Amino acid sequence: MLEGKKIMVVEDEALLALDLAMTMEDLGAAVVGPCYRLGAALDLVRKMKVDGAILDVDLNGETVFPLARYLDEQGVPFVFHTGRADPASLLEAFSRARICTKPSTPERLAACLAEALADADRRSDNQNYAPAYAQDGSSESSQQA
Amino acid sequence: MLVVLAVLFAAGALTVTRAFHAENVARQEMTEAREALSQVNDLMLILYEAESAQRSVLLGDPSAADPFRAAEAALPGATAQMQASLDRAGSDLSVQGRRLGALAGERMADLSASPAVVPAPTTASPRTAMDDLRQASAAIRREERALMDAAYTRADAERLRAKRTLGMIGLTVLGLIVLAAMLAFRSARAESRLRYRREIEVQRDRAELVSHELSHRVKNLFAVTMSIISVTGRSETDPKIAAKKTRSRIQALARAHELSSGQNLMRTAPFGDLLEAVVRPYCPPGATLRLSGAKLVLPARLLTPMGLIFNELATNSVKYGAWSSPLGTLTVDWTFASDETLIVVWQEQLAEYGPPQPGREGFGSTMIDLSLQQAKATMKRRWGEQGLTARLRFPFSGADKVEVTATGKD
């Protein structure tokens, strides 16, 4: 389900990041990161395209929101991995995001992320049936390639 | 309230004025009555004088004629004066005064008519005439006294009324003062209640914040613990060793985080205490651990990486380093450099110097590297004849609010 996908891992707990990265690799994904800080993650995501992301919400006193907004604009699906008690406020700001509460097994996170990727695929399919279909042939051409 | 007080004061002033006025009237009436009475007495004295002088003449004392004449001359004036006083006192007394004046005039006329001879026959006997006079003067006296009594009674009544009114005004003022005091007390109480409620709100907010932070940290720690289990499991093939390492790492985590609790959630325990908690348990009997450096309060974000780093260093020391023999020494010194960096020197001293023996590069060093990255820290390791020397640098950010004091810890 995540095979061949480029997945970004943003997590300030190094061990957790390592565990996530290892699990993603086990599932056949290519890990981008792991990133421990917001700045590094933003730099990285601007340089290379990613297919999905796992985001810890609190990064050493910073929130991951600037990165989440950027990914949202790019249409990249992501999962919030957080110990916060108020998922409602997260969904308010990022309606398409999925939330996986800490502590959670890497497998569950992976499943959650796979769902998010599937959602995003459905959304882009719907877009392709829209009247703008003729102008936007990018997804079709990539399928051919 | 002020209006009520003003009305009360006006009523009080009026009552007092009326009481004074009644008193004054009574005094005036008394003075007049006393004057009238003394004039009545004067008149009667003149008549007595005339009687007694006339009797002396009759008894053969010609010199007594002079006083008789004087009395005779004084009578009209005295009568007029008395009449004037009684006229002022009222019509009733005026009539009586006129009667007394007439009787006195008649009597004097009788006396004058026969100064030196046998008493001339008169309309009435001398005694009867004097009796009439006495009765008339007594009536006037009674009347005047009644008038005086009435004035006194009025003044007394007025005084009593003033006393009552003033008493009531006093009570009302007292009531108003009590009311004002009660209102002031109630408003003060309400204010203090409000302050108390605000204080409670502040405390509740603080407790909520601490509880949120704690819950967040607990979830994070569980996540880290799960990661320790899974990554240690991945790197070790022998389940016994994997279990042992997992346990020691979780224990280091637990010890490091034990230092932060309650009020110290954000600013945790001193660095020396962290080393004491994480490293000391590995010290074999007979071996030495020396800790020295400034008292430095760590930010909470460093607890997990530092706990894991020093746990790995300590387990390595037990496996391959100074603490692999019971005579080895481990010294940890730390200073807080001017560029807001904590510099830690981890120095092992083997019981027997020998060729450098870097330990096996296992998952432990990956763990150290990861934790260093997390803490933005660096570490330089050097193996000499006496063992490992590691220099670690932990940069602190402005948000960490570092507290440094001069007292050392060893």
Domain-wise residue ranges, chain A: 6-130
Interface size between A and B, measured as CB pairs under 8 A: 67
Question: Residue A29 gets which letter from DSSP?
Answer: P
Q: Find chain B residues with C-beta within 8 A of A103's C-beta.
A: 219-220, 222-223, 225-226
Which strands make up the sheet holding A78-82, listed edge to edge? A30-35, A6-10, A52-56, A78-82, A98-101
Collapsed DSSP state (helix, strand, coil) of residue A51? coil
Range scoring the smallest mean pLDDT among A122-126, B44-48, B180-184, B373-377: A122-126
Contacts of B252 (CB under 8 A, 6+ apart): B278, B307, B308, B310, B311
Beta carbons of B82 and B43 less than 8 angstroms apart: yes
In this structure, are strands A98-101 and A78-82 parallel, antiparallel, or unpaired?
parallel
Distance, CA of B69 to CA of B66 (rounded, Å): 5
B213 or B102, which is more confident? B102
Residue B331: per-residue pLDDT: 92
Residue B117: per-residue pLDDT: 44
Q: Does the beta carbon of A89 lie under 8 angstroms from any beta carbon of chain B?
A: no
Distance, CA of B179 to CA of B166 (rounded, Å): 20
| B370/A101 touch (CB, cutoff 8 Å), yes or no | no
Q: Find chain A residues with C-beta within 8 A of B223's C-beta.
A: 13, 16, 83, 102-104
Residue A141: per-residue pLDDT: 39
Considering chain B, what percentage of its residues have pLDDT values greater than 70?
Answer: 89
Contacts of A13 (CB under 8 A, 6+ apart): A56, B220, B223, B224, B227, B304, B374
Q: Which long-range contacts (CB under 8 A, 24 or more apart) does B14-17 make?
A: B15/B161, B15/B162, B15/B165, B15/B166, B16/B162, B16/B166
Is residue B399's pLDDT more than 70? no
Would you state the structure tokens that stand for residue B108, as one six-digit string?
A: 């004097």
Collapsed DSSP state (helix, strand, coil) of residue B236? coil
**B285-310 confidence digits (pLDDT tens):** 888 889 998 888 888 788 888 888 99
Question: Residue A117 gets which letter from DSSP?
Answer: H
Collapsed DSSP state (helix, strand, coil) of residue B16? helix
Hey, where are the domains in chain B? Answer: 2-180, 236-408
Specify the amino acid at residue B298.
Answer: L
Q: Any idea which architecture B236-408 has in CATH?
A: 2-Layer Sandwich (3.30)
Cα B6 → chain centroid: 28
Residue A138: per-residue pLDDT: 43
Collapsed DSSP state (helix, strand, coil) of residue B289? strand
Q: Shortest Cα distance from A101 to chain B (angstroms)? A: 9
The mean pLDDT of B322-351, rounded to a whole number, is 87
| B373/A83 touch (CB, cutoff 8 Å), yes or no | no
**Residue among B208, B209, B219 with most chain A CBs within 10 A, to mutate:** B219
Q: Name the residue in chain A with its Cα closest to that of B223.
A: A103
pLDDT interval class at B360 (50, 70, 90): low
B340 or B178, which is more confident? B178
pLDDT interval class at B66 (50, 70, 90): confident
Which of B294, B400, B272 lies closest to B340 in space, CA to CA? B400
Distance, CA of B310 to CA of B316 (rounded, Å): 10
**B228-246 confidence digits (pLDDT tens):** 888 888 888 888 888 888 8
Distance, CA of A19 to CA of A34 (rounded, Å): 10
Residue B340 backbone class (left: φ over 0; alpha: ψ -120 to 50; beta: rest): left
* Average predicted confidence (pLDDT) for chain B: 82
pLDDT interval class at A139 (50, 70, 90): very low
The mean pLDDT of B124-137, rounded to a whole number, is 76
Range scoring the smallest mean pLDDT among A8-12, A44-48, A60-64, B263-267: B263-267
Beta carbons of B293 and B333 less than 8 angstroms apart: yes
Distance, CA of B234 to CA of A13 (rounded, Å): 18
Beta carbons of B228 and B246 less than 8 angstroms apart: yes
Q: Shortest Cα distance from A21 to chain B (angstroms)? A: 11
Would you state the structure tokens that stand for residue A130, as one six-digit string?
A: 């829209």
Give the CA distances from residue B286 to residues B83, B329, B387, B389, in Å, rounded to whole numbers and listed in that order. 138, 9, 18, 21
Residue B177: per-residue pLDDT: 92
pLDDT interval class at B385 (50, 70, 90): confident
Distance, CA of B164 to CA of B168 (rounded, Å): 6
CATH fold label, A6-130 = Rossmann fold (3.40.50)
Dihedral of alpha carbons B117, B120, B124, B129, sign? negative
